[in-house]
Amino acid sequence: MGAIVAIVGRPNVGKSTFFNRLIQRREAIVDAVSGVTRDRHYGKSDWNGKEFSLIDTGGYVVGSDDVFEKEIDRQVELAIDEADAIIFMVDVESGVTGMDEDVAKLLRRVDKPVFLAVNKVDNPQRMADAVEFYALGLGDYFTISSINGSGSGELLDALVEVLPEVVEEESELPRFAVVGRPNAGKSSFINALIGEDRYIVTDIAGTTRDSIDTKYNRFGFEFNLVDTAGIRRKAKVREDLEFYSVMRSVRAIEHCDVCILMLDATRGFDGQVQNIFWLAQRNNKGIVILVNKWDLVEKETNSVKEYTAKIKEVISPFEDVPILFISVLNKQRIFKAIETAVEVYNNRSKKVPTRKLNDIMLPLIENYPPPAYKGKYVKIKFCTQLPTPYPQFAFFCNLPQYVRDPYKRYLENKLRENFDFTGVPITVFMRKK
């Protein structure tokens, strides 16, 4: 379970630059999320071996100045509600502004760690200018330059110090999170599952202190349903709904085993849905995609096929994901959806015996060895599954550095073909023998 860190502050102080810098620490995340930058509001980052989810509240602000003020207040409140720690960014060029003072006022009332980051400090003169930010009453500050990264090390050292320890919760029951954009039909899906008769044994207040876990047992299935849909919906305006649902999804995804990603068939697999998909995949969670409101779509021949192909094209190379077409309203294929989620959960926790793994994989490798690189031949002698909560495999060979991604993908595909890991991200490591 990762911690959540939010970056707040008024527009144009450099929040996004800093954010992009942090999530690019690991190459895997350079494309934090495919799609235009205004979609890139969250990613995973790590520092000194501690992972955390990072949320940039910046990109959500739209409108004129007075709207700005309201929006910023609202985002700061959201960040205060949801995050484990907050980075408050200000800009040394413009000094302390009225808006900064407003944000500081909100943050002074919080009992969460707040880090004041004074940005654009790239020479000694500006270092001296930064002193005026003591006036915000938030104590010491960190001087950084998000363009060239100077100073960010000290800030991150202090930040990861205070983040809660990561605990892999051992829950006996699988946890399924229903995620997706607002109005995709998540609440109705959960209600249809639980049924008006309420087959709920208990309502456990979730560990996240606000996502509600519903224990579900019916038709021989038993699991916890993590509901992101109906949680403390604030009676606020629509603008922050998107943002709120994103923060909610981030938390729910961190805490579950399988994500049931729900989308509205009439809207398609759009940027926001893709964001949630990639986030689940990066977190190595099982994934089931439900296309809801299928009854509202004009059908031509093969339309399920075409729709499926379109989604697979977008999520490639991780295409081995179940895609179900349902209608919550007509209760079509709802239980099939749960059945599939249970299968994906079982796939995620599957352990392949080492002997069986080698018996199947080594002949395949022999028939199609890794291509020679710089005249050197790679020999893979042995493979084993690592004892992690999700499928990771180590292949031992003489020259691990010469095995390229396409070959790793080949190995992953063969693992999928032979052991059924549908719906689950797999990691393949090359290790020195």
Instruction: For residue 265, say whether it is annotated as part of any ligand binding site.
Output: no
Q: How far is CA 404 from CA 73, 208, 240, 369, 386, in A?
A: 48, 40, 43, 12, 21
Instruction: For residue 181, say whether it is annotated as part of any ligand binding site.
Output: yes
Instruction: For residue 251, say whether it is annotated as part of any ligand binding site.
Output: no
Instruction: For residue 278, say whether it is annotated as part of any ligand binding site.
Output: no
201 by DSSP, 3-state: which? strand
Maximum CA pair distance of the chain? 70
φ and ψ at 204, to 5 degrees? -95, 130
**Rounded CA separation 266/322 (Å):** 19
Instruction: For residue 139, say whether it is annotated as part of any ligand binding site.
Output: no
**Rounded CA separation 163/370 (Å):** 42
Instruction: For residue 293, say whether it is annotated as part of any ligand binding site.
Output: yes
Instruction: For residue 370, say whether it is annotated as part of any ligand binding site.
Output: no
Instruction: For residue 17, say whether it is annotated as part of any ligand binding site.
Output: no
Instruction: For residue 124, say whether it is annotated as part of any ligand binding site.
Output: no
Instruction: For residue 73, say whether it is annotated as part of any ligand binding site.
Output: no
H helices of 368-404, in order, are none
Instruction: For residue 56, say whether it is annotated as part of any ligand binding site.
Output: yes
Q: Is 178 left (phi over 0), alpha (psi -120 to 50) or beta?
A: beta
Instruction: For residue 153, say whether it is annotated as part of any ligand binding site.
Output: no
Amino acid present at 301: T
For residue 226, list its beta bridge partners. 177, 213
Instruction: For residue 285, say whether it is annotated as part of any ligand binding site.
Output: no
Exposed, middle or buried by CB within 10 Å (0-12, 13-18, 19+), for 359? Answer: exposed
Residues 6+ apart with CB under 8 A from 96: 90, 132, 133, 135, 136
Instruction: For residue 152, say whether it is annotated as part of any ligand binding site.
Output: no
Instruction: For residue 11, say whether it is annotated as part of any ligand binding site.
Output: yes
Instruction: For residue 231, say whether it is annotated as part of any ligand binding site.
Output: yes
Residue listed under structure tokens 């993908």? 409
Instruction: For residue 140, say whether it is annotated as part of any ligand binding site.
Output: no
Instruction: For residue 187, say whether it is annotated as part of any ligand binding site.
Output: yes
Instruction: For residue 224, say whether it is annotated as part of any ligand binding site.
Output: no
**Rounded CA separation 305/166 (Å):** 41
**Rounded CA separation 129/239 (Å):** 36
Instruction: For residue 292, say whether it is annotated as part of any ligand binding site.
Output: yes
Instruction: For residue 206, say whether it is annotated as part of any ligand binding site.
Output: no
21 by DSSP, 3-state: which? helix
Instruction: For residue 59, say whether it is annotated as part of any ligand binding site.
Output: yes
Where does 18-91 show beta strands of DSSP type E?
A: 42-47, 50-56, 85-91
Residues 6+ apart with CB under 8 A from 285: 253, 256, 257, 258, 259, 348, 390, 425
Instruction: For residue 295, say whether it is annotated as part of any ligand binding site.
Output: yes
Instruction: For residue 253, say whether it is annotated as part of any ligand binding site.
Output: no
Instruction: For residue 347, say whether it is annotated as part of any ligand binding site.
Output: no
Instruction: For residue 60, say whether it is annotated as part of any ligand binding site.
Output: yes
Instruction: For residue 123, say whether it is annotated as part of any ligand binding site.
Output: no
Residues 6+ apart with CB under 8 A from 237: none
**Rounded CA separation 6/19 (Å):** 10
- Are 48 and 22 in contact by the 8 Å Cβ rule? The answer is no
Instruction: For residue 180, say whether it is annotated as part of any ligand binding site.
Output: yes
Instruction: For residue 122, say whether it is annotated as part of any ligand binding site.
Output: yes
Instruction: For residue 266, say whether it is annotated as part of any ligand binding site.
Output: no
Annotated binding site for GTP: 9-16, 56-60, 119-122, 180-187, 227-231, 292-295
Q: Provide the annotated binding site.
A: 9-16, 56-60, 119-122, 180-187, 227-231, 292-295
